Each structure stands twice: as structure tokens, then as C-alpha cells.
Amino acid sequence: MNPPRILVVDDDENLRWVLQTQLEQMGYTAVTAGSAEEAIGAIEKEPPALVLTDLKMPGVSGMDLLEQIRRDYPEIPVLIITAFGTIQNAVQAMRAGAYDYLTKPIDYDELALAVSRALEHFRLVKEVRTLRASLDRKYGFENIIGHSEVLLTVLDTAARAAQSNSTILIHGETGTGKELLARAIHYNSPRRDKPFVTINCGTIPRDLLESELFGHVKGSFTGAITHKVGKVELADRGTLFLDEIGEMPGELQVKLLRLLQHGELEKVGATSPLRVDVRFIAATNRNLRAMIEDGTFREDLYYRLSVIPLELPPLRDRAEDIPELVQHFFVKAKEAQGRPNLVLPASLLPRFQDYRWPGNVRELENVIERIVVLARGDEITLADLPDFLRRERPAVDMLQLELPPQGISLEAVEKELIVRALEKFHGNQTHAARYLDISRKALIYRMEKHGIRRKAVEGEEEMLPADDAQAR
């Protein structure tokens, strides 16, 4: 790595030279400028790692230079040199954003220390900024792939709710992205720098859940040999994600409700409650309303949790998101499996859109990985797809039946289907019967029953004898 470049700005040529020599002896690269104007030109050409400037110079002052750097190059630290006894100027410079100041005559140990501290500080600032940007990318709403209307509506509400402290209840089938959404909310909330803690109420054994969640005091029960900090306390000032909230046992629902209402944590065995500041996001794939009906979920807790309800729709209800998701997971899997040349032809996409995806996005992600791992050639073909994707979709599924509110006669529907099938095959009864999966005799019987006259639909009567002959 190159040594950091430092720009020394001073109208005094002598001092410039001394500082340059000193800094180079300390292992830095030093360049110089005789005025603020010259310094600005030098910064524009190649921004240095740090600027060391005299405050009092003819023309543009060191103070103006400082202000300009703060405004246009916030990532460059500035150290100020002031004459002895002008402490007032130094204070003013610090206020304007100088990192530190040195007084003349310059003590070189002090200079070395100030320079290294400033560089270290700004390196950290930069690192945090990059880290933050990559966190945003990892957990932001942009990571939630899909542009369907339903999904965008949910994301829009979620993004607005993220700014508040209100409790959110996310509902959705397994694998629809509930946890992904909860994280995105946290990392877009004012609590983003504080912890995001998850607890899965469904996988922790009942008798451990209370201590896991609320913590316990040493000696509060047999086995409590140490103090335990619970997840609620860990999430203080951050967000607690209560996953599978529908699995929470009744006694704990009461305790959780008290916590939600008063912000007071009752540790197991503790004599007094502890105040915590936690934002709660809960998720479930259960129908909590039905659970309220049968008495397994508390209604008061339900209302307290669902201040902002969010519903993630199942993947089959947003088939327009599927091509984008397939593409996303395909690129990811190719990278992970080291198969950069693999191609997935667009002609296969309808196969993915026709399937019902009971495991939703998680299932899709895993299926794509399997396809990539097992692909024979560089181009995915139908043969590479698992058989549930190869199978044609049952035709009834594809019939877009919209039931009219006033009701409809089954007889009328049957008649309509027969007429349409005959039209499709220009009156050819053999083909129409095969298409409708009935015998030709059955078709003729039904045509008579519904009063469908051959001629009305055939149009080409001369085709009839041939058709009849063929059928016999």
C-alpha cells in the first residue's frame, strides 16, 4: 500500500519545506501548496489523505480553505496550524470542522500524533460508511425481489412503518419472506445500529421459552445456576422479531402482553421489573383469528401485536414475480456452484409460473439450486427440471373461471363448453369429443339434450359425412 499523501499549505516557503521533510521522515508522502488557491487546484487533481494548512495566508484564508474542503471533500481531514497565542482562531477552526490544530513553533511529536490520529479516525469513518452501505444492500428493501402490485403495496406500507416504533404483525405462508421483511424493516428504522434479535417461539421447548425470552435470575429455579439475559433485554433499543408467534403458550402470552403494554420486563425470579425500549415485529403462518375463536390465542395480545398488519401473499398469487425471482436465484446459484456459463432459456419460465409452490419463495430458491447443481449441459433443458415442473398443468387449472355473483346453471356451462369445443374443431365431432374427453356417442347425446344443431356450429356441412365415416 502507498503511504498516505499529505498536502501541506503554507505561504511561508521555509516552513513548507520543513514540514514536508518532517512528514516524509515519518513515512508519509508530502506535497506542498503556497496558497489556498493552489491547494484547491491540487486537491481537485488528486485528493490527498489529509490537509495540513496554515490559517493565516494572503488571498483566500486557511479558514475558507477549511470550509471548502469540509463542504466538497468531507472525507479529507484537515489539520490547522495557528500562530502561538491565537487560540481564538483555533477554536473557531475546530468549530468549522478542523480535526485538530497545532501551534507554532511546531512540536514534531505532536504533529506525528495529530496526523496519525486524524488518518485513523477518517479511515474508520469511511469503513463504517462502506459497511453501512453494504448492510443496506444486504438487508434493505431492494433485496426483496418482485414487482407485483401486491408485493409493492406491502413493501410501501412496511417502509413507512419502519420509521415508527409501532408493533408489526407479518402474516404469510411458509417461505413467503416474513423474516426477510422483518430485517428490512429493522435496517431501515432509526434503530438500525442497534441489535436485531430473533426468537422462534415454535422451536424452543415450552419450559425454556420463558427464560429464553425474559431471562432469569440466578437461583430462581433448579437449574438456574447463573443469571440469564433474555432476548428481550438483548434487543434493548433495537428490534425483537417474535417468529411463529402463534406457537406461544398461553401463560407467556399474558406476560408478553404486559411487556408490550408497559415496556416492563419481568425476569424470572426478579423482584422488580426492568424497563426496556424494544420494537416488536411478530410473524406467523397461522390464522390467528381462528385461534382466537378456538381460545388458543389471546385476543387482546392479537390487537396489541397487529397495530400494523402486513400480509405477504403466497407466491402463486403473484406469478408475475416468478421470472425475476428465478433469474435472481439462478445467478446466485451459478455463482455459488461455479457454473458461470449456465443458461436458463426464457421458454422454460412458464413452467415455473404454472406450478403452485406450496413452499413459496424458499421452495423456488431450493429448486433452482438443485437444477443448477444437477444440470447436464450448459443450457438448462426441460429434462433438467424436476418432474413436478415438467408435468403439464391440469387443464382445469388453466380455465380462468370467474363465478358470477348471481349464480350460474351447470347445464348452461356444459352447453357452452360443447359449443366452443365444436367451434374449435370446425364442427368435427370426433375431435371435439376427444378434446372434451368423452365418447363421440356421449357428445351427440349431449348435443341433442342441449338442442345444439350440428349445422349451427359446423358451417361446413360437406365435412360431415367424412367425419362420420371416420368415426365409425
Ligand X SMILES: Nc1ncnc2c1ncn2[C@@H]1O[C@H](COP(=O)(O)OP(=O)(O)OP(=O)(O)O)[C@@H](O)[C@H]1O
Chain residues in the site for ligand X (CB under 6 A): 144-146, 172, 174-180, 285, 361-362, 365
CB of 49 to ligand X, least distance (A): 39
CB of 377 to Mg ion, least distance (A): 36
**What does DSSP say about strands 264-265 and 274-275: parallel, antiparallel, or unpaired?**
antiparallel
CB of 182 to ligand X, least distance (A): 8
Q: Which is nearer to Mg ion, 186 or 440 (CB)?
A: 186
144 binds, among Mg ion, ligand X, none (CB under 5 to 8 A by kind): ligand X
CB of 279 to Mg ion, least distance (A): 18
Stretch that binds Mg ion, among 80-88, 171-179, 191-199, 337-345 (CB under 5 A): 171-179
Asked if residue 11 binds Mg ion (CB under 5 A), the reply is no
Q: Which is nearer to ligand X, 4 or 146 (CB)?
A: 146
Residue carrying C-alpha cell 450448459: 378
365 binds, among Mg ion, ligand X, none (CB under 5 to 8 A by kind): ligand X
276 binds, among Mg ion, ligand X, none (CB under 5 to 8 A by kind): none
Q: Which is nearer to ligand X, 90 or 361 (CB)?
A: 361
CB of 306 to Mg ion, least distance (A): 17
467 binds, among Mg ion, ligand X, none (CB under 5 to 8 A by kind): none
172 binds, among Mg ion, ligand X, none (CB under 5 to 8 A by kind): ligand X
CB of 289 to ligand X, least distance (A): 18
Q: What distance lies between CA 322 and its chain's CA centroid? A: 17
> What does DSSP assign to residue 222?
T
CB of 386 to Mg ion, least distance (A): 24
Q: Which is nearer to ligand X, 62 or 146 (CB)?
A: 146
CB of 31 to ligand X, least distance (A): 48
Q: Which is nearer to ligand X, 161 or 432 (CB)?
A: 161
| Nearest one of 88, 91, 44, 92 to 68, comparing CA atoms | 44
Coil, helix or strand for 434? helix
With CB atoms as reference, the residue minimizing the distance to Mg ion is 179
Residue carrying C-alpha cell 375431435: 431
Q: Which is nearer to ligand X, 179 or 236 (CB)?
A: 179
CB of 350 to ligand X, least distance (A): 20
> Do 164 and 279 touch, CB atoms closer than 8 A?
no
Stretch that binds Mg ion, among 64-72, 143-151, 174-182, 419-427 (CB under 5 A): 174-182
Q: Which is nearer to Mg ion, 136 or 179 (CB)?
A: 179
Task: Tell which positions 90-109 bind Mg ion, by CB under 5 A.
Answer: none
Q: Is the peptide bond before 105 cis (omega within 30 degrees of 0)?
A: yes
62 binds, among Mg ion, ligand X, none (CB under 5 to 8 A by kind): none
Q: Where are the beta strands (DSSP E) in 227-333?
A: 239-243, 264-265, 274-275, 279-284, 308-312
Considering CB under 5 A, how many residues would be counted as binding Mg ion?
Answer: 1
Q: Which is nearer to ligand X, 185 or 348 (CB)?
A: 185
Q: Which is nearer to Mg ion, 11 or 363 (CB)?
A: 363
With CB atoms as reference, the residue minimizing the distance to ligand X is 177
Stretch that binds Mg ion, among 4-12, 176-184, 344-352, 355-363 (CB under 5 A): 176-184
3-state DSSP of the chain? CCCCEEEEECCCHHHHHHHHHHHHHCCCEEEEECCHHHHHHHHHHCCCCEEEEECCCCCCCHHHHHHHHHHHCCCCCEEEEECCCCHHHHHHHHHCCCCEEEECCCCHHHHHHHHHHHHHHHHHHHHHHHHHHHHHHHHCHHHCCCCCHHHHHHHHHHHHHHCCCCCEEEEECCCCCHHHHHHHHHHCCCCCCCCEEEEECCCCCHHHHHHHHHCECCCCCCCCCCCECCHHHHCCCCEEEEECHHHCCHHHHHHHHHHHHHCEECCECCCCCEECCCEEEEEECCCHHHHHHCCCCCHHHHHHHCCEEEEECCHHHHHHHHHHHHHHHHHHHHHHHCCCCCECCHHHHHHHHHCCCCCHHHHHHHHHHHHHHHCCCCECCHHHCCHHHHCCCCHHHHCCCCCCCCCCCHHHHHHHHHHHHHHHCCCCHHHHHHHCCCCHHHHHHHHHHHCCCHHHHHCCCCHHHHHHHHHC
Task: Tell which positions 17-36 bind Mg ion, by CB under 5 A.
Answer: none
Q: Which is nearer to Mg ion, 102 or 181 (CB)?
A: 181
CB of 373 to ligand X, least distance (A): 17
Of residues 11, 38, 67, 179, which one binds Mg ion by CB under 5 A? 179
CB of 167 to Mg ion, least distance (A): 18
Q: Which is nearer to ligand X, 273 or 314 (CB)?
A: 314
Q: Which residues bind Mg ion (CB under 5 A)?
A: 179
